[in-house]
């Protein structure tokens, strides 16, 4: 079987690409390299191009005899999406519409899509279930939801089946220390904890007066290699004829910002410089996943711990202080 991996040069895409190859599948990667890194693809077949280029996608599918698609390619910065919504609707939504059209024409019947827990906005209760209210609080989240809706309609009107994976907080690096998340392209907590530790610039903790046990925000951090395994489980599910499904991908456990700092200090043996800053607009107080659907339908559960996330991130950032350019 051959898998077309869109966005396979990005952080989650490149680590998942390895897991897909390790499952015995052939691959072909399509990435613009606007925010991805050619080196992260390694020796996998690679084409530099855009998902919106329908003739290219259709040709790739035919030439490489593609059976399955894993669709990562998207912009993912929440703040940027609020400043420049056109960019997100154009790249994420219109691009995916063109991609789906080409996949349909090429007769592709199975697709795994990267979505986000952010489609729930500030959850009413935790753990968050897939069926809980949908309430996007950013253009970014809305673009992911719109693609979910397109897939749902393709599922009803064509033979194309899908697995939507709603990621919680992807974090950590490849265990072999070769692939990780560049802090220059991320606003997320773990890369910024690493930047504070390594460069000595204070981490800003966005609020310590939240109604949580230690006053800081609580999230569900899932190791990127666990996340990669969820994609393989999703491909396997579709390959055995499984029905379309939407699954949360998290650990089911909540961890606070202070806990992340404490684990980092214990593992590195050094203090993480930090100070308290005002709450960040739009941040929910606490968010973690109900992971029963992924366990029941895909047979997948996360196996790695917060210690694994921090140890792998620390190893990668220490050996790549300038991200993928180092
Ligand atoms: C964010 C996005 C979400 C996206 C996800 C993955 C928002 C509101 N949500 O999730 O849509 O799917 O990233 O890309 O932007 N924190 C600090 N200091 C920092 C950075 C973060 O204290 O410098 C805190 C936050 O307040 C939060 C936690 O760390 O409590 C996690 O933040 P972050 O890693 O940015 O992820 P989310 O906000 O959960």
Could you read off the pLDDT of 236-278 as tens digits, one per residue? 999 999 999 999 999 999 999 999 999 999 999 999 999 999 9
Q: Is residue 176 part of a domain?
A: no
Same domain for 78 and 147, yes or no, is yes
Give the three-state DSSP class for 96.
Answer: helix
Q: Is residue 239 part of a domain?
A: yes
Helix (H) or strand (E) holding 14: helix 11-22
Same domain for 11 and 134, yes or no, is yes
Q: What's the N-to-C CA distance of the chain in angstroms?
A: 34
Gap between the Cα atoms of 196 and 182, Å rounded = 14
Ligand 1 center to 188 CA (angstroms): 5
Same domain for 148 and 245, yes or no, is yes
Same domain for 233 and 300, yes or no, is no
Same domain for 213 and 71, yes or no, is no
Same domain for 136 and 152, yes or no, is yes
According to DSSP, the β-strands at 203-206 and 218-219 are unpaired
For residue 157, the enclosing domain spans 2-171+223-249
Same domain for 73 and 188, yes or no, is no
Strand partners, 46: 29
Same domain for 164 and 196, yes or no, is no
According to DSSP, the β-strands at 255-256 and 218-219 are antiparallel
Judge whether 88 counts as a catalytic residue: no
Same domain for 244 and 142, yes or no, is yes
> What average pLDDT does this structure show over 59-69?
98
Helix axes 257-268 and 189-199, enclosed angle (nearest 10) = 40
Q: Say what the pLDDT of residue 324 is.
A: 75
| Residue nearest atom 38 of ligand 1, based on CA coordinates | 283
Same domain for 19 and 160, yes or no, is yes
Q: Say what the pLDDT of residue 322 is.
A: 79
Same domain for 320 and 258, yes or no, is yes
User: Mind listing the pLDDT tens digit for each residue in 179-193?
Assistant: 999 888 788 999 999
> What average pLDDT does this structure show over 295-313?
98
User: What CATH number should be reported for the domain holding residue 57?
Assistant: 3.40.50.720
- Please report how many Cα atoms fall inside a 13 Å half-sphere around the Cα of residue 301, on the Cβ side: 9
Q: Is the pLDDT of residue 326 over 80?
A: no
Structure-block tokens of residue 148: 């979910």
Of 6, 194, 257, nearest to 114 (Cα)? Answer: 6
Q: Is residue 178 part of a domain?
A: no
Q: Say what the pLDDT of residue 282 is.
A: 79
Choose the catalytic residue: 11, 140, 167, 221. Answer: 140
Pair 250, 289: CB distance under 8 Å? yes
Residue with the larger pLDDT of the pair 271 and 177: 271
Same domain for 47 and 105, yes or no, is yes
| Residue nearest atom 26 of ligand 1, based on CA coordinates | 206
Gap between the Cα atoms of 67 and 103, Å rounded = 10
Ligand 1 center to 97 CA (angstroms): 28
Q: Say what the pLDDT of residue 142 is.
A: 97
Q: Is residue 72 part of a domain?
A: yes
Q: What is the largest CA-CA distance in the chain?
A: 56
């Amino acid at each position: 079987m051959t898998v077309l991996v869109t966005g396979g040069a990005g952080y989650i895409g490149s680590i998942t690409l390895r897991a897909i190859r390790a499952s015995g599948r052939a691959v072909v990667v399509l990435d613009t390299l606007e925010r991805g890194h050619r080196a992260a693809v390694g020796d996998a077949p690679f084409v530099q191009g855009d998902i919106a280029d329908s003739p290219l996608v259709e040709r790739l599918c035919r030439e490489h005899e593609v059976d399955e698609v894993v669709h990562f390619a998207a912009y993912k910065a929440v703040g940027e999406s609020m400043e420049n919504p056109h960019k997100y609707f154009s790249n994420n939504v219109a691009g995916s519409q063109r991609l789906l059209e080409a996949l349909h024409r090429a007769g592709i019947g199975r697709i795994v899509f990267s979505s986000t827990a952010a489609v729930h906005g500030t959850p009413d209760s935790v753990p968050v279930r897939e069926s809980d209210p949908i309430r996007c609080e950013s253009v970014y989240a809305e673009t992911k939801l719109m693609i979910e809706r397109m897939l749902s309609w393709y599922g009803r009107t064509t033979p194309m089946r899908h697995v939507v994976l709603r990621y919680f907080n992807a974090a950590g690096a490849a265990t072999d220390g070769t692939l990780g998340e560049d802090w220059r392209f991320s606003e997320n907590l773990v890369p910024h904890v690493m930047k504070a530790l390594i460069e000595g610039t204070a981490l800003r903790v966005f609020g310590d007066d939240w109604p949580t046990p230690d006053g800081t925000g609580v999230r569900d951090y899932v190791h990127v290699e666990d996340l990669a395994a969820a994609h393989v489980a999703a491909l396997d599910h579709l390959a055995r004829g499984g029905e379309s499904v939407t699954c949360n991908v998290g650990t089911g456990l909540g961890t606070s910002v202070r806990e992340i700092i404490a684990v980092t200090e214990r593992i590195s043996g050094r203090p993480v410089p930090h100070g308290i800053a005002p709450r960040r607009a739009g941040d929910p107080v606490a968010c973690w996943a109900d992971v029963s659907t992924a366990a029941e339908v895909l047979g997948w559960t996360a196996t790695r711990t917060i210690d694994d996330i921090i140890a792998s991130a620390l190893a990668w950032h220490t050996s790549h202080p300038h991200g993928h350019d180092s």
